[in-house]
Amino acid sequence: MNKLGIHSFVWTGSSVQKDLETAIQVSSDLGYKLIEFPRLNTKVFDVAALARLLQSRDMGVAVTMGLPPDGDISSEDLEKIARGEALLIEGVAVARDLGAKKLGGILFSMHGKYQSLPTAAGWRNSVDVIRRVAERAKQADVTINLEIVNRFETNLLNTTAQGLKFIEDTGSDNVFLHLDTFHMNIEEASPADAIRVAGRKLGYFHIGESYRGYLGSGTIDFDAAFDALLDIGYTDYLTFESFSSEVVDKDLSITCGIWRDTWKDNVALARHARAFIEERFASAERRRQVTRTV
Ligand code: MN
């Protein structure tokens, strides 16, 4: 497993240049090959300088984001839809300029708890925007990856099956699924089967424990997930995602409900996560090989 990524919120919730540089350096020192940056505020850091640092460290980068309430492209409010589309286009540009090949996250709706049911018109509005954004992203050599998240963080796409239907409706070959063990554990009857159903449409993958803390200390069945990833031939990045109130970003911490410390020492956490994923993934590969050997 040499395509291991880490979410920058293990290190920092800020968009300050110095903090982002430290996050890149620590991740690289600990053997990670990609860093994921969410919700980047491009006004407070130098994209070109970060891109150079990433390159000098031979580090990949992924950008993720969620739409704000006033930029909800799954709404029926034309102003909100236009604002959301502009934010997504900006996200594609930042991803491109940083050297990222993937834009992921809750790109298709507001990121947060809805107080209303999804509507058919809202679905169509979201599909239309994603289709257009995906076209632009393709020119920038960036893929669009829709993160399927739990019911408290969107009302539109909570399962792989819904995500596949959405992708089909866009008619685009540049839209993929971004799956996450934490969210699948809440919404899917069988998370491993959901991975198999995603198949070749899986574009990006988050590894998170059931309570978002130390891997292996919760209830996620990582063996089943890794078996399924091998079954579908997924060889792209696996990105470790963990949140604690030790690292706070006002918006994301509240949206994701991060109210307490699940860890304090992020270096120990990241070191453990890498060893855990590599060991479990290697075991899954061994299982697969043994099963297929006469
Ligand atoms: Mn995630």
- pLDDT one-digit tens code per residue, 51-106: 999 999 999 999 999 999 999 999 999 999 999 999 999 999 999 999 999 999 99
Lowest mean pLDDT among 37-51, 188-202, 259-273: 37-51
Strand partners, 104: 64
Strand partners, 34: 5, 60
Q: Within 10 A of 294 (CB to CB), how many other CB atoms are there?
A: 2
| In the block, residue with structure tokens 């491109």 | 96
Query: 125 CA to middle of ligand 1, Å?
Result: 24
Rounded mean pLDDT, 265-269: 96
Query: 180 CA to middle of ligand 1, Å?
Result: 5
Helix ranges restricted to H, 146-221: 160-170, 181-187, 191-198
Query: 293 CA to middle of ligand 1, Å?
Result: 35
Give the model's pLDDT for residue 251. 80
Report residue 81 as tokens. Answer: 């839809």
Residue pair 119/219 in contact (Cβ under 8 Å)? The answer is no
Give the model's pLDDT for residue 104. 98
| 2 has pLDDT over 80 | no
Query: 114 CA to middle of ligand 1, Å?
Result: 18
Instruction: Check residues 186 and 262 and name the one with the higher pLDDT.
Output: 186
Query: 150 CA to middle of ligand 1, Å?
Result: 10
Give the model's pLDDT for residue 282. 97
Residues with a known catalytic role: 147, 241
| In the block, residue with structure tokens 């089909």 | 168
User: Is the C-alpha dihedral spanning 125, 117, 110, 138 positive or negative?
Assistant: negative
Report residue 275 as tokens. Answer: 């060893």
Query: 179 CA to middle of ligand 1, Å?
Result: 7
Who contacts 205 (Cβ-Cβ below 8 Å, separation ≥6)? 178, 179, 180, 229, 234, 236, 237, 238, 239
| In the block, residue with structure tokens 């257009």 | 132
Give the model's pLDDT for residue 175. 99
Q: How confident is the model at residue 234 (pLDDT cuts 50, 70, 90)?
A: very high
User: pLDDT tens for residues 162-207?
Assistant: 999 999 999 999 999 999 999 999 999 999 999 999 999 999 999 9
Give the model's pLDDT for residue 48. 92
User: pLDDT tens for residues 11-22?
Assistant: 998 878 899 999
Around ion ligand 1, residues with a beta carbon closer than 5 Å are 180, 206, 241
User: pLDDT tens for residues 117-162?
Assistant: 999 999 999 999 999 999 999 999 999 999 999 999 999 999 999 9
Query: 56 CA to middle of ligand 1, Å?
Result: 27
| 208 has pLDDT over 80 | yes
Give the model's pLDDT for residue 138. 98
User: 3-state SS of the chain: helix, strand, coil percent to 5?
Assistant: 50, 15, 35
Domain ranges of the chain: 4-291
Q: Coil, strand or helix: which one is 32?
A: coil
User: Is the C-alpha dihedral spanning 195, 201, 205, 211 positive or negative?
Assistant: negative
The Cα angle at residue 285 between residues 270 and 184, in degrees rounded to 5 = 60
User: pLDDT tens for residues 20-33?
Assistant: 999 999 999 999 99
User: pLDDT tens for residues 252-261?
Assistant: 888 888 898 8
Closest C-alpha to 144, from 71, 91, 197, 200: 91
Query: 291 CA to middle of ligand 1, Å?
Result: 31
- Which CATH architecture does the domain made up of 4-291 adopt? Alpha-Beta Barrel (3.20)
Who contacts 216 (Cβ-Cβ below 8 Å, separation ≥6)? 209, 222, 276
Give the model's pLDDT for residue 76. 98
Cα 260 vs. chain centroid, distance in angstroms? Answer: 22
